[in-house]
Amino acid sequence: MASKSRFVVGSHVWVEDSDEAWMDGLVEEVNGEELVVNCTSGKKVTVNVSNAYPKDTESPRGGVEDMTRLAYLHEPGVLQNLKSRFMLNEIYTYTGNILIAVNPFQRLPHLYNNDMMRIYKGAEFGELSPHPYAITDRAYRLMINDRVSQAILVSGESGAGKTESTKSLMQYLAFMGGKQQAEGRSVQEQILESNPVLEAFGNAKTVRNNNSSRFGKFVEIQFDQNGKISGAAIRTYLLERSRVCQISDPERNYHCFYMLCAGPPEVCEKYKLGEAKSFHYLNQSNCIELNGMDDAKEYAETRRAMGIVGMSSDEQDAIFKVVAAILHLGNVEFSEGSEPDSSAPKDEKSQFHLKTAAELFMCDAQGLEESLCKRVMATRGESITKNLDPKAAALSRDALSRIVYSRLFDWLVNKINSSIGQDPESKILIGVLDIYGFESFKTNSFEQFCINLTNEKLQQHFNQHVFKMEQEEYTKEEIDWSYIQFVDNQEILDLIEKKPGGIIALLDETCMLRNSTHETFAEKLYQKFKDNPHFSKPKFSRSDFTVHHYAGNVTYQTDLFLDKNIDYAVNEHQVLLNASQCSFVSSLFPPVEESAKSTKFTSIGSSFKQQLQSLLETLSATEPHYIRCIKPNNVLKPAIFENSNVLQQLRCGGVLEAIRISCLGYPTRRTFYEFVNRFGILQPKVLSKSHDEITASKMLLEKANLVGYQIGKTKVFLRAGQMAELDALRTEVLGISAKKIQTKVRSFMSRKKYVQMRICATQLEAVCRGTLARRYYENLRRQAAALKIQTRYRMRQERNKYRDLWSASTTIQSGLRGMAARNKLRFFRKTKAAVIIQSQCRCHLARSRYVRLMKATIKTQCAWRGKMARRELRQLKMAAKETGALQAAKSKLEKEVEELTWRLQLEKRIRSDMEEAKTQEIKKLQSQLQESQQQVKDTEESLKREQEIAKAASEKAALVPEIRVDATLVNELTADNEKLKTLVTSLETKIQETELRFEETDKLREEWLKKATDAESQINELKNTMQSLREKFNSVEAENNVLRQQALKARHDNVPVLNMHRKSNLANGSLPGDEQTPHGTPMEFGRRSLIERQQESVETLINCVVENIGFSDGKPVAAVTIYKCLLHWRTFEAERTNVFDRLIQIFSSAMQKQDSNADLAYWLSNSSSLLIILQKSLKPAGSGITTPLKRTTTQTSFLGRMVFRASSITVDMDLVRQVEGKYPAFLFKQQLTAFVEGLYGMIRDNVKREVSSVLSLVIQVTPSITSPQAPRTAKAGLITDQDSYWKAIVNHLNDLLKILQENCVPAIFARKIFSQIFAFINAQLFNSLLVRRECCSFSNGEYVKQGLEELEAWCTQAKPEYAGSAWDELKHISQAVGFLVIFKKFRISYDEIISDLCPMLSVQQLYRICTQYWDDKYNTESVSEEVLNEMKTLVNDASGQANSENTYLLDEETSMPLSLDEIASSMDAKEFQNVVPPQELLENAAFQFLKS
């Protein structure tokens, strides 16, 4: 067929567009070789047929994972597929075995974690979604299986994500090949931590990327025979040294400079650093800080990583000292010196920075200055010192900074390699190449030239690899490919690196000539390559040249080519830094030979070419794998896809070149099934079962009259354009079929409409007649009803009137009666109130009269009594004049003073032991003192009154005749008065002293009280100690008595005593030394006999329970028997015993049978039952809980308790009772708990392994594929008997349930085991939907839903007692499957999905399912674009949060989700009461206590 027949009217095509690169549209007219296309943007364009490409309208909305499965493999198809996947956050896509990674410019933490690594581990390549882990796993598996070294090449332009992709590769290799080391850091950890170190010193911000690697890196990871990492080596290429001294806005210098300036204050002070913007090498750009990057934090992280990779603290300090010296060196400015054409530091600031740099380099400051400002020219017989002008001095300064930084970076790489170490015995390795991509800027210098040379060489290697893969594919399918020609870029490589005559050779030649300039170099290039088709000269430039690379034309500026190609250290710099007192700095500049001190240079271009050749030789010896990184936009923001930018990167990355190579052969390949399924409509008879797929494919191709195609073993291979021709035929056939269908449908619809109209007319007539009849009948009914209504209405009116009249009469009557009753009540209340008022008034009048009489009586009595008192007072006053009255008062006071003194002395005697009496006495003394004071006061007042009376009497006596008075008596009275005054004063003094003594006594009393309290507490402690000693003494005495009785009994019965050797560690505890007799006394032999009997009892018990002795009353016999024996022997209360160790050995040996679920279940039943009993029985010592069995003595040793129990005492009591356990008992309980957890985990993991093997088959089951959306590893054809897998899972569950029931495992363990198994099934199935696109289909949803129904039926059959809430663990997969089998998903809103359909799923999980979904059965669509965009917005917002989840995959619980309290509360102690002990023990005389 002619190519013009590829397009017909209505065909969907791609046409070129200046803005969007490619635009889709619909063909409206076909005019020969011209097509009129109506684009989706609204434009209408006319294009040539050769410039239009067919569009696949059946491609899925989310694109395909492998672009080799595209119906049309061309530029617009590849671009559209990448864009579709990128907008769904699917950033990885395959092109055959090549991985294309599009930088999302946002965090996608769910793609990179240990869960994802475990999923991709061992998975077949292409089985899961595209990912760097898949590439790395494939390389690792090929290395292990074929014992061939591998290489992974990561390329892309700056900002495309090469560094992050390399990190993920190395993390996966560390995950697969990592091994633990006993001491120090592991090799894989050092490899991973080398990335931050190299990024700090080799990465910088560029216009296109905030963390651009300015060097190439090839990491060789070596593996041993077991596939474990054993060593590594890092090679670096072409560090951009010019960036140290010169940067453009808005770029930054290397990260380490900014980290050091943002370091801790003590570091900045140590190196005399300030802010970053104060240094010349850093402030050439306005960009000092980066958003989202904390330089101070990065500094600490870098120091930590340097320590991990083996750099000591001194080496780290030396490294940053050199970095600081470079910064200070950059701040040294120069001015004209005193001599002509000389230079010197410009000012004091420059002098300061020069001295600081010298101090940091630990070299001579004057020597450093001379090395920068002067140059020594070596001649044949002498050396000449030449001064440098300021400009040349500045260039010398920058040259020193560059060479120092370059040597420092090389030292770092060598140090990392030496620290990690290489394995000389390793034969296999995986190399990871992280190297710069193709670069083309406005100004392209020597660095871009070398970078593009690297990409040309790698592109040649890449093309050869792609062509090799094509050959392998053709050979595998056994088709002829000999005529396919391979065209590579060898001519361009010859142009650059050919010797002699290449660009690099001419550059070296020009550099060796003195006085050569870049213009001289350019003229040589113009003359040499004027006829070369891959070289051209720009029209308006005198020194630029253009090379036609595979990725496009690049124009290079030769201004700095010569300077940047020269690589030698200035001899003065070399000598100066070699003499540095810092060993680190001097090691960077080792001494050179005399011959090397000449001005002969080393070509950087040639050195780089040799490194590149070595790299390619290494790559040629390995099996390569490619990752091409793409930067979707230049603004470095998410969700922006610039078509032109991406298309250019696809060209630069060689992806389009690979497509071109593929198009030279057979770009379209379809399996026979897919081909027949797509184009079977061209000849329907091939769809019958009489033709196989190969025959059907040949018939279809012959029908289409195609030539040049090939039929392989499993695929049809079509030449470029033939797919479009087949689609054109298919479209034509579909159009004709559509017309036929439309004709038949229109005829059918017209007849159907006529029949419906006829039926409707007949029905309408019948309805009309019926309506008229019903209306007549309705009128008759209305008339009859009207008469009845009128009758009823009139009757109701009259009745209402009567009711109203009756109601009014009744209301009036009730109102009148009520008013009369209220009036009567009001009269009664008034009458009662009047009576009350009258009685109260009369009462008040009578009381008032009584009160007045009482007041008058009292007043009269008071007046009379006052008169009598005044009369008596006068009589007393007269009597007081006598001397006897004064003497009596004096003697009375003396007696009272003596009494007070005596009582005070008495108080001093009894205050120590009579506290309460002292208090009462003190109060009594105080009251008596107050009374004495009052009496003294009364006496003084009486004396004063007497003196006044005497004075008044003397005045009256002056009026009467003089009476003779005895002077002696008067003098005596005066003297007595003076004595009384003195006595009163002394009493007051004594009272004050008494108060002071009382206070002191009070203080002494408090001290004595405190001492008495302490003494009482000590007495109580001594009493308690004595009580415990008495109890111990009684216990020992009782034990001795028992032993004596046993010895006497043995002697009387003539029982032979065996002479036994003493045992150092008795099972029931060692005996005290004072109880052991030195000779063979009966006591010693009796004790030995008891020990032997006790050991025999323990051995008998162990031998019995070590076997499976079954169950009794649904409970394990062994557990109950062990508890009864331990309780009877009182082992729980023993301080020392080895019985618990023997029991632990039984459980340990039982755990060795890991594969037998029956044995594990038996011991789980016994251990858990025993644990339940112990949890209910054991209580800590001192908890106050006592055993209900009362004894007169307490046995403290295990032997004593066994002897005591061996007596004839038997008590009926409950099986489980609380006892105070000692340390061995609680230790045994802890060990038993660990065994229960271990047995539980073993049973669960065994069932998981069994179910997992079946689940892997369930996940791989994929129904028939009828859509091109199917993943590339999907299997054609429906697997028969799919239900057998689910039945196998159910059988495993039934087997486990049967084992648990037969071994009487507590139901709580069964519920938890099944819940965790169902959670495991849920996680496996749900995760398969998220990571395997073939599982996220409509038919697979139906299949899994059918299996879930069987699991639900099993849960119902197993009953909640054992199944518990196991079905609830399948909520994730059940909701996801329910969503998959919905037909009209595009009608469902987001709110309905999260609230009704899938409330358990997160938005990340829903988004993943919606983007992965494809319908292989009914061709239904996924959710609408609006819902998908809303989900994507929420996913992006969640990814940007720091506390967001790192994965959308489900984790499975591995621990035992039960506590001791839950286990103990699951069963009642009374359930163990009726367990029958084993008959073997019941027949033994030593175990007769089991019968009770």
Amino acid 1073: pLDDT = 37
DSSP letter (8 states) at residue 1457: -
Highest mean pLDDT among 166-170, 326-330, 616-620, 1000-1004: 326-330
Average pLDDT of the segment spanning 1238-1262: 82
Angle between helix 1307-1331 and 1403-1412 (nearest 10) = 50
Could you give the C-alpha distances from 1404 to 106, 114, 729, 1037, in angstroms and in order? 15, 18, 42, 77
Split at pLDDT 50, 70, 90, the class of 1197 is very low
Q: Which residue has the higher pLDDT, 38 or 720?
A: 38
For the annotated catalytic residues, the residue numbers are 158-159, 163, 209, 212-213, 437, 439
pLDDT per residue over 182-197, tens digit each?
445 667 778 778 888 9
CA 537/CA 525 separation, integer angstroms: 9
- Please, which residues have CB within 8 angstroms of residue 8's CB and are 6 or more apart in sequence? 27, 30, 728, 731, 732
b or e along 308-329 (b: 16 or more beta carbons within 10 Å of the residue's beta carbon)? bbbbeeebeebbbbbbbbbbbb
Residue with tokens 């003499």: 579
Q: Is the pLDDT of residue 1088 over 60?
A: no
**Average pLDDT across the chain, whole number:** 80
Range with the lowest mean pLDDT among 72-81, 944-953, 1347-1356, 1370-1379? 944-953
pLDDT per residue over 1020-1077, tens digit each?
666 666 665 655 555 555 555 555 555 544 444 433 333 333 333 333 333 333 333 3
Highest mean pLDDT among 157-161, 256-260, 1301-1305: 256-260
Amino acid 1256: pLDDT = 80
Split at pLDDT 50, 70, 90, the class of 300 is very high
Amino acid 388: pLDDT = 86
CA 488/CA 472 separation, integer angstroms: 19
The closest of 306, 308, 299, 311 to 273, measured between CA atoms, is 299
Average pLDDT of the segment spanning 1394-1411: 87
Average pLDDT of the segment spanning 356-384: 84
Average pLDDT of the segment spanning 284-302: 89
Average pLDDT of the segment spanning 615-642: 88
E strand spans, 765-815: none
CB neighbours of residue 553 within 10 Å: 12
Q: How many Å is the Cα radius of gyration of the chain?
A: 56
pLDDT per residue over 205-249, tens digit each?
887 778 888 888 888 999 988 888 888 888 888 788 888 988 888
379: region left, alpha or beta (phi > 0 left; psi from -120 to 50 alpha): beta
Q: Which residue has the higher pLDDT, 1016 or 1085?
A: 1016
Amino acid 1028: pLDDT = 57
Using CA atoms in the order 1354, 1358, 1361, 1363, what is the torsion angle rounded to 10 degrees? -30
Average pLDDT of the segment spanning 137-146: 91
Residue with tokens 């018990």: 1101
pLDDT per residue over 746-790, tens digit each?
999 999 999 999 999 999 999 999 999 999 999 999 999 999 999
Average pLDDT of the segment spanning 484-495: 76
Amino acid 599: pLDDT = 46
Q: Is the pLDDT of residue 509 over 80?
A: yes
Q: Is the pLDDT of residue 441 over 90?
A: no
Amino acid 1192: pLDDT = 35
Split at pLDDT 50, 70, 90, the class of 146 is confident
CA-based torsion, 1265, 1266, 1271, 1272: positive or negative: positive
- Whether 411 and 588 have beta carbons less than 8 Å apart is answered as yes
Amino acid 555: pLDDT = 93
- Please, which residues have CB within 8 angstroms of residue 1043's CB and are 6 or more apart in sequence? 1083, 1086, 1087, 1203
The closest of 1038, 1034, 1030 to 1203, measured between CA atoms, is 1038
- Please, which residues have CB within 8 angstroms of residue 736's CB and are 6 or more apart in sequence? none
Q: Which residue has the higher pLDDT, 1426 or 669?
A: 1426
Report residue 259 CA to chain centroid gap.
Answer: 28
Q: Which residue has the higher pLDDT, 1265 or 544?
A: 544
Split at pLDDT 50, 70, 90, the class of 876 is confident
Split at pLDDT 50, 70, 90, the class of 93 is very high
Q: Is the pLDDT of residue 497 over 70?
A: yes
Average pLDDT of the segment spanning 1161-1172: 86
Average pLDDT of the segment spanning 566-571: 74
Amino acid 513: pLDDT = 82
Tokens of 749: 């619809």
Amino acid 1306: pLDDT = 87
The closest of 199, 150, 196, 211 to 176, measured between CA atoms, is 150
Q: Which residue has the higher pLDDT, 643 or 1085?
A: 643
Amino acid 744: pLDDT = 92
> Above pLDDT 90, what percent of the chain?
19
Element (H, E) at 716: strand 715-718
Could you give the C-alpha distances from 1104 to 762, 1092, 1099, 1197, 1213, in angstroms and in order? 96, 18, 8, 25, 25
Strand 229-237, strand 216-223: pairing: antiparallel
Summarize the chain as % helix, strand, coil (round to 5): 60, 10, 30
Amino acid 1191: pLDDT = 36
Q: Which residue has the higher pLDDT, 1475 or 23?
A: 23
pLDDT per residue over 451-465, tens digit each?
888 888 888 888 777
Average pLDDT of the segment spanning 892-912: 69
Q: Which residue has the higher pLDDT, 1468 or 792?
A: 792
Q: The pTM is what? A: 0.65
CA 1326/CA 1324 separation, integer angstroms: 6
Tokens of 10: 């209505």
Amino acid 879: pLDDT = 72
Q: Which residue has the higher pLDDT, 1153 or 741?
A: 741
- Whether 197 and 323 have beta carbons less than 8 Å apart is answered as no
Split at pLDDT 50, 70, 90, the class of 965 is very low
Amino acid 201: pLDDT = 94
Q: Which residue has the higher pLDDT, 931 or 234?
A: 234
Q: Which residue has the higher pLDDT, 690 or 1110?
A: 1110
Average pLDDT of the segment spanning 644-673: 76
Q: Is the pLDDT of residue 167 over 90?
A: no
Largest Cα–Cα separation, the chain: 186
Q: Is the pLDDT of residue 1225 over 80?
A: yes
Amino acid 535: pLDDT = 92
Q: Is the pLDDT of residue 1426 over 90?
A: no
Strand partners, 818: none
- Whether 1336 and 1412 have beta carbons less than 8 Å apart is answered as yes
Split at pLDDT 50, 70, 90, the class of 915 is low
CA-based torsion, 990, 994, 1000, 1004: positive or negative: positive
Split at pLDDT 50, 70, 90, the class of 1190 is very low
Strand partners, 624: 151
pLDDT per residue over 842-866, tens digit each?
999 999 999 999 999 998 988 898 8
Q: Is the pLDDT of residue 1405 over 90?
A: no
